[in-house]
Amino acid sequence: MIILITGITSGFGKAMAERLSADGHTVYGTHRKATEFIPGVTYIKADACNEEDCRAAVAQVVDAEGRIDVFINNAGMGIGGPLEFSSLEDAQRQMDVNWMGMVRFLHHVVPVMRRQGSGKIICFSSIGGLMGLPYQGLYSASKFAIEGYCEALRLELRHTGVTVTVIEPGDFSTHFTAQRKSVDNPEANAAYPSYARSLASIEHDEMSGLKPEFLAGKISKIVKMKNPGYSYIIASFLQKLSVFAKVILPKRWFAALLAVYYKL
């Protein structure tokens, strides 16, 4: 299969590119500043925030291969902190990378797949796209947007042979934790005393989480499926249980559980 993955320099993207290439697929991946290159994978320099870069990346794959069988939208970033102290620039940046980055690529990928009458679109959301996480509100908002967009896109493409799958990872040990931009000023910590301990708990859970290779193995299986599911939660048992709890518990009860879990 011809596969295009966004953001393959580290974490999920790198692990998926390695695994899918090893599976025998032809893998293309976008990057902004790669320093290490996976043998057999074609790297395309592209910024998800630049519409022309996205268009050119898709065109390069189509020109070389004549088709795109699987598109995996993985590129993303995180901004943490109390929403009150998160700047409007940070809010715009968060949505521009995580949501609009996906939209820009799909604007060019969808017509290709629709014309060829087949294709798999796999977009990365998060557990945080299913529940608003404290001190990760901007990140959750961007992932909620992905959920809504993909839900609508799936319905629109239901008679075209193109499938849309959303991946909802829990905590994983990747470079994402170190690369997260977090609000860091005395006023924010004074106004929200729980912020520091909650952020420390979040980072501990991430660093001790599952390995990206585990997720890559799951993606390998999804890519091979004739009719993949609408969504897959790839997380620990406790995190999967939290999603179920949100569905069955009264909202106030579930909020109380999150408050305890995040040490609010």
Using left for φ > 0, alpha for ψ between -120 and 50, and beta otherwise, residue 68 falls in: beta
The residue length of the chain stands at: 264
Contact 144, 129 (CB under 8 A): yes
Residue with tokens 């017509």: 111
Return the ∠ at Cα 239 (arms to 79 and 196), rounded to 5°: 40
Active site residue 149: no
Could you tell me the two tokens for 239?
A: 């995190």
How far is the CA of 261 from the CAs of 82, 241, 242, in angstroms?
17, 13, 10
Please state the separation of Cα 132 from the chain's center in Å.
Answer: 15
Q: How far apart are CA 173 and CA 165, in angstroms?
A: 23
Q: How far apart are CA 119 and CA 135, in angstroms?
A: 36
From 28, 135, 139, 192, active-site residue = 139
Identify which of 59, 57, 15 has the alpha carbon closest to the alpha carbon of residue 38.
Answer: 15
DSSP labels, 198-229: HHHHHHHHHHTSB-HHHHHHHHHHHHH-SS--
Active site positions, annotated: 139
